Structure 1
Amino acid sequence: MSLLLAAVAGPSLAGTGLVFVSHERSDNIVVLNRADEVVGQFKTCARPRGMRRTPDGKSLIVACGNDDTIAVYDMATRTLVKRFRDIPDPETFDLHPNGRDLYISNEDDSEATVLDLETGEVKAHYATGPEPEGVLATPDGKRVFVASEAANLVHVIDVESGKIVKDILTATRPRRFALSPDGRELWVSCELSGIVDIIDTASLQSKGQIAFLPKGMRREQVTPVDLVMSRDGKTAYVALGRANHVAVVDVASRSVKDYILVGRRPWGLRFSADEKTLYVANGLSDDVSIIETATQKVRKTVPVGMVPYAVVIDD
C-alpha cells in the first residue's frame, strides 16, 4: 500500500531545498522547508536509517533495518514505489556511480551486499567483520569501502574483480567515511577512540589521525560518527556524538579550528548544495541543528521525530 507524504504540496520536489530526516524510533521521515520549518512527514517501514536521493532526483532510497527492507519513494508524488525485501538489517549504503548497484552494510549478518535496483537481485555478498556500517563508493566506481565497527577494519572492495582486496586496521570502532575531493585521502571516524583516521587511498595505509576534545568534555565522551568535507577540500566537519558538538577541521593542517555546540548525540551530517548550511541530526535530543557555515553558528534547532539518523536534501 502506498505511503503518502502529509502536508507537503506541489507536483515535484526537484530543487525545492526540502530537507528529509529519517527517524529510527518513530519510523517516519520528517520534512523541513527552506525556512527551517517542519512542513510534513510520512510513515516508512520500521527503523529507517540510511537514506539517499537517486542522481536523477526522482527517488528517495531508504534502508529500514527492522523490516529487512530497502524502500524507494517517488519524490514527486511522495508514494512508495518499490520494496526490496529480505535484505538483512540494512543500516547504511552507497549507490555505485552506475546508478544501479546499491552497496549495503548488513549489520547483523557481518556482510555487505550488492542490490541491483533494476532487477531486485542481490548480486554479490562480501564477508566483513562484525557490525558493518559506513559504505563509500569512489567516484570512479573502482572501489567500495566498508567499515566494520566491531573488527576495527575498513574493507576495500575491488569492483571489477568482485573481491575484497584489503582489510585496513583502524582505531577503535570505525563508523563513517569522507573522501577528499582529489580522492587521495579517506577519512574514517573512529567512535570509541575519539579520532578520525586518515587513509592514503594509493597505498591503502593509515597516514595520520586527528583527535578531538571540546572544552569541558572528558575524552570518553568524544565519540565521532558522521563527517563531511567541503567541495574545495579545505574544511571538514565531524559530529562528535556524546560530546554534543560538531568539530570544524582545517584539512590541510589537520587542526581543529572550532567546536560548535549542537543537540545531544549528533551523528548525521549533510551540507546544502551551496554548502552555506550544515544540517545535524541529533539522535538523543530528537532534533536537528542548522548551522550557518559562514559564521559557524547554529541558527536554529528544530524538533523532529524520535532518534533522527540521516539527512537528505533536495537541492
Structure 2
Amino acid sequence: MNILVNTLNSIALVSLLLVVQQSQASSGYVFVSSEKDDQVTVFEATSMDKVAAIKTSQRPRAMKLSNDGALLYVACGDADVIDVIDVASLAVRQSIEIGEDPDRFDLSPDEKFLYASNEDDGLVTVYSLEEGRKVAEIEVGEEPEGVLVTSDNRRVYVTSEVANMVHVIDVQSRELVENIVVGNRPRRMLLTPDQKQLWVSNEVGGTISVLSTESYQPIAELNFFLRGVRAEAISPVGMVMTKDGTRAYITLGGANHVAVVDSASYTVLDYILVGKRAWGIALNQDESRLYVTNGKSDDLAVIDTVRGKVIRSVPAGRVPHDVVVDD
C-alpha cells in the first residue's frame, strides 16, 4: 500500500512540475515596436518569419515582458498610455492611462508597481498594478527617459536628457535621494549582474558613464572611435550585457554600428555594421543571437554573436524602436 501511495505521489509531483514548466514556457517570439505604424510586429524567433502585426495605441516604443511571459507591456507615447498585450492571443488586453508622453518604464521585481517616465511633464508616474491606479507622481529633471528598478526593489534610476543626470528614487519613501551628473543627453541604463555598476548611455556625449551603485562615483567612461565616421554621428543608446557580465553590446545610433565591449577592461573589442540608426537591442536566451532595431532603414538586424556578423535582416515596420526576445 505504501509503495502504491508513494508511486501515486511521484506521478502527481511529476505532473505538477510539467504543468509549471509549460506555464513558464517561452512563446518563441521576437517582438518589435514600430513608432510610425502604431503596431508591434511579432516574429518566430528561429525562422524570423512574421507571425502577426498587433495594432496598438499611437507611437509604441519601450516594451517589457512580465516575469511569466504572459503579458507584454508597451509604452505608447502619443496616446499617453501603456498598452498591455496578451502574448497567448497576441492582442491588446488593456490600455493603462499613465500621463503625458510615457517614454520608458520598468516593473518592480514583484510586479506590483509600474514606473514610467513622462517626458513632457518631467515626472515619474508610479502605477499600482494591483489597485489599477496611479499612486504617486515624482518630479525629476526635464525630459526624463530611462527608468530602471533595482533587483532588490530599493531604488529606481531615472535619466534626465536635459539635466544630464541620473536621478535616484527611494522606493519606500518615493523621494529623490541622489542626483548624479553624467554625460550629455543620457538615455538608457543597465546594471551589471552583480548590481555593483550602473552603465548609462550618453547619446549626444557619445560616451557610456560607468558608476558605482554604492558611492555613485564614476568608475570609467567608454569612448568610441570608428574610422570614417564623424564623432557627432556616434550616439550610443541601447545596451545589453551577457548573463556572466563579461560582454556588453551597445547600439551607436547614427554611426550604424553595434560596439562589442569587454566589461572588465572597458575596451571595445569590435564594431559590427548593422542598419541605419541602430537603436533597440536584445539578446536571445542562449546569447547566440543579438537583435538590433534600425530606425532609419526600417529593419531588424539579427547578429550571430560568435561570428560577430549580421546573418539576417528583416523588415520591421516604419521606424522600429524597441525589441524584446522571448525564445
Inter-partner Cα distance in structure 1 for 2:326 and 2:232:
36
Matched, 1:62 2:92: no
Q: Which amino acid aligns with 2:84?
A: V
Within-5 A mapping of 1:268-279 = 268-279=280-291
Matched, 1:114 2:121: no
Inter-partner Cα distance in structure 1 for 2:96 and 2:181:
33
When normalised by structure 1's length, the TM-score is 0.94
Q: Which amino acid aligns with 1:223?
A: S
Structure 1 partner of 2:42 = 31
Structure 2 partner of 1:9 = none
What secondary structure, in the 3-state scheme, does the structure 2 residue paired with 1:220 have?
Answer: helix
Question: How far is 1:68 from its partner?
Answer: 0.6
Inter-partner Cα distance in structure 1 for 2:74 and 2:260:
28
Inter-partner Cα distance in structure 1 for 2:275 and 2:192:
27
Question: How far is 1:304 from its partner?
Answer: 1.2
Within-5 A mapping of 1:4-83 = 14-33=25-44, 34-83=46-95
Greater Rg over alpha carbons, structure: 2
Inter-partner Cα distance in structure 1 for 2:140 and 2:311:
40
What secondary structure, in the 3-state scheme, does the structure 2 residue paired with 1:249 have?
Answer: strand
Over the aligned positions, Cα root-mean-square deviation in angstroms equals 1.4
Contact preservation (8 Å) 1:221, 1:243: yes
Question: How far is 1:51 from its partner?
Answer: 0.7
Structure 2 partner of 1:128 = 140
Contact preservation (8 Å) 1:174, 1:189: yes
Q: Which amino acid aligns with 1:20?
A: F
Name whichever of 70-79 and 243-252 sits farther off.
70-79
Contact preservation (8 Å) 1:112, 1:127: yes
Inter-partner Cα distance in structure 2 for 1:112 and 1:66:
17
Within-5 A mapping of 1:183-194 = 183-194=195-206
Residues 15-60 of structure 1: per-residue CA shift (max 9 Å, x gap): 2321010011110111111212222211110000111111111111
When normalised by structure 2's length, the TM-score is 0.91
Contact preservation (8 Å) 1:214, 1:245: no
Q: Which amino acid aligns with 2:306?
A: A
Contact preservation (8 Å) 2:54, 2:91: no
Question: How far is 1:242 from its partner?
Answer: 0.4
Structure 1 partner of 2:307 = 295
Residues 66-94 of structure 1: per-residue CA shift (max 9 Å, x gap): 01111111111222221212522111101
Q: Which amino acid aligns with 1:301?
A: S
What secondary structure, in the 3-state scheme, does the structure 1 residue paired with 2:243 have?
Answer: coil
Q: Which amino acid aligns with 2:33?
A: S
Inter-partner Cα distance in structure 1 for 2:109 and 2:228:
43
Unaligned 5+ runs, structure 1: 1-11
